[in-house]
Amino acid sequence: MTIIILVFLLAGLIKGVIGLGLPTIAMGLLSVVMPPSVAASLLIIPSLVTNLWQLLIGPNFIRLFKRLWTMNAAIILGSLVSPLPSLNSGSSWTQAALGWVIVAYGLWGLAAKAAPNPSRHERWLSPIMGYITGAISAATGLFVIPAVPYLQALQLNKNDLVQALGLAFTASTIGLALQLAKGDALAQLDYSQCVVALIAALVGMFFGQHLRRHISEIAFRRCFFIGLIALGVYMAWR
């Protein structure tokens, strides 16, 4: 229980500062000490609550939903119908794949300025990005690749980006929960641990939002992505 509290405090703190990172940190650290399917199950409630909060705080939910609905529908579809083995399968490659996904996310985060704007291809590209995100989410428990780089490349304003990320993360959480429900991971879940994880994540987010006003977000993001790369390499090697 202590590990769960510390992990979700840290994950919530990072999400509070930079607006993302809770599933990445939680899956990365928890998968070192427990099966990835169990770690992903613990993530469902804290992720859903924090992402709904992130989704609903902005003023443009309807407009963004209409713009990005194909991407988010494809996320759920990719979570349920994918050629990749799911977390439920117990595949031995899952943790290594999780590590390399984290490394890819970290490398992208350090070089994000070079991402081109794909807006003119959005109609056909959004569902493709969504499906790939859902497939990777079902296999690794991570929601970030390629949804986060894609949404940031669309050059949305700050408030719209935070809300769009909340929308994509909510769809990813629902898709992952449906995928896990097909196995026995959710049936064996200790929901008291989920409540503890949720409280820890919310406390971490509160302090993260406070820290955001006092530290350089650029410096924090750089340290965050470097740390992710190190964690991912360790997991893949292990």
Q: Is the whole model's pTM more than 0.95, yes or no? A: no
CB 51 within 8 A of CB 173: yes
> What is the overall mean pLDDT for the chain?
83
What is the per-residue pLDDT across 103-160, written as a single tens digit (0 to 9) for each? 888 888 887 665 678 888 899 999 999 999 999 888 887 788 888 889 888 888 777 8
Question: What are the domain boundaries of the chain?
Answer: 2-237
CB 51 within 8 A of CB 162: no
| Residue linked to tokens 């893949």 | 236
CB 207 within 8 A of CB 95: no
The full DSSP string for 77-127 is HHHHS-SSPPGGGT-TTHHHHHHHHHHHHHHHHHTGGGPPP-GGGHHHHHH
d(CA 53, CA 47): 10
